[in-house]
């Protein structure tokens, strides 16, 4: 039978005192380390004070700086400053900049020094104009994303696509990349045939209208571009149908919405 070891009250008291001393030592060390960390984070000299921006041409740099400065204002837990170079909210800033400025497709944020933040942005490239009725015209990138109001004169640089709208399309994707590419390619093909397409107007369901010079119009179904081009080429070969130059047709409209059947109305 195992005998139980008896300890004297003095020894028990001594062991308790040793545990208390170790506990106090550990707590003191922890408090010192925590205090040092808090002091290091709260030091006024460790703050991001300089914000540099590059790559932004459509958005004034001052607006980008202002948005970043707002994002690093305040504290975590009431005492850790968000402007500290080691804990600033990098991902939150990047997300906010892309949300605030849809013209940015990519944002990169890094420290230039302990006091300097560098923001590098990449802007979307316009592929076409998207005109939404009373809301005006906007720039659309190759992904079909509406990212900025159209600048004056941009209608001379890009194809114009139109559709009535009940709200502003800014910051939304109104096209898939394939759908947009097909529409622009169709307008280019019309130009190669000698037509002068002013714009492409999306109407009810899949109906599409392309106004031409001299108030002529092409009517067709969206997506049925290859057949429409083939029928137009066949029509143009019949000189007695569309006399004169292609750019100045003598018809009010050419209707290509019914398969291989072509309807047109002379002026």
Report pLDDT digits (tens) over 72-107.
998 887 778 898 888 899 999 999 999 999 999 999
Q: In CATH, which of 3.40.50.300, 3.30.70.520, 3.40.50.11690, 3.20.20.70 is domain 177-267?
A: 3.40.50.11690
Report pLDDT digits (tens) over 176-197.
999 999 999 999 999 988 888 8
Report pLDDT digits (tens) over 219-229.
999 989 999 99
Task: Answer yes or no: is pLDDT of 123 > 60.
Answer: yes
CATH superfamily of 50-123: membrane protein fhac (3.10.20.310)
Q: What is the pTM of this model?
A: 0.74
What are the extents of the domains in the chain?
50-123, 125-175, 177-267
C-alpha dist (Å) from residue 223 to 80, 99, 127: 57, 32, 19
3-class DSSP state for residue 181?
A: helix
Cα separation, 115 vs 112, in Å, equals: 8
Torsion angle (degrees, nearest 10) of CA 77, 78, 83, 84 = -60
Predicted local distance difference test score (pLDDT) of residue 88: 92
Could you tell me the sign of the dihedral formed by the alpha carbons of 244, 246, 247, 251, in that order? positive
212 close to 195: Cβ distance less than 8 angstroms: yes
Structure tokens at 219: 């009517």
Q: Which class for 208: exposed (0-12), middle (13-18), buried (19 or more C-beta within 10 A)?
A: buried
Q: Would 50-123 and 177-267 be classified into the same CATH topology?
A: no
């Amino acid at each position: 039978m195992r005998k139980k070891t008896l300890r004297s009250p003095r020894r028990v008291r001594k062991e308790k005192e040793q545990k208390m001393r170790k506990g106090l030592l550990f707590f003191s060390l922890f408090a010192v380390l925590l205090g040092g960390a808090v002091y290091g984070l709260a030091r006024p000299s460790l703050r991001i004070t300089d914000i540099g921006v590059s790559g932004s041409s459509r958005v004034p740099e001052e607006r980008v700086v202002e948005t970043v400065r707002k994002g690093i204002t305040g504290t975590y837990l009431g005492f850790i400053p968000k402007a500290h170079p080691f804990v600033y909210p990098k991902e939150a800033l990047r997300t906010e900049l892309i949300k605030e400025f849809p013209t940015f497709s990519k944002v990169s944020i890094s420290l230039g020094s302990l006091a300097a933040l560098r923001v590098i942005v990449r802007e979307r490239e316009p592929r076409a104009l998207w005109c939404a009725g009373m809301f005006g015209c906007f720039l659309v990138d190759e992904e079909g994303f509406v990212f900025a109001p159209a600048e004056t004169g941009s209608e001379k640089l890009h194809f114009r696509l139109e559709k009535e709208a009940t709200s502003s399309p800014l910051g939304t994707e109104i096209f898939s990349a394939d759908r947009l590419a097909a529409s622009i390619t169709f307008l280019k093909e019309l130009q190669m045939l000698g037509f002068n397409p002013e714009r492409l107007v999306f109407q009810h369901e899949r109906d599409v209208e392309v106004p031409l010079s001299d108030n002529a119009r092409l009517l067709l179904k969206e997506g049925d571009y290859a057949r429409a081009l083939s029928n137009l080429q066949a029509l143009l070969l019949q000189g007695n149908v569309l006399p004169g130059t292609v750019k100045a047709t003598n018809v009010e409209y050419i209707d290509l919405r019914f398969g291989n059947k072509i309807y047109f109305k002379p002026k």
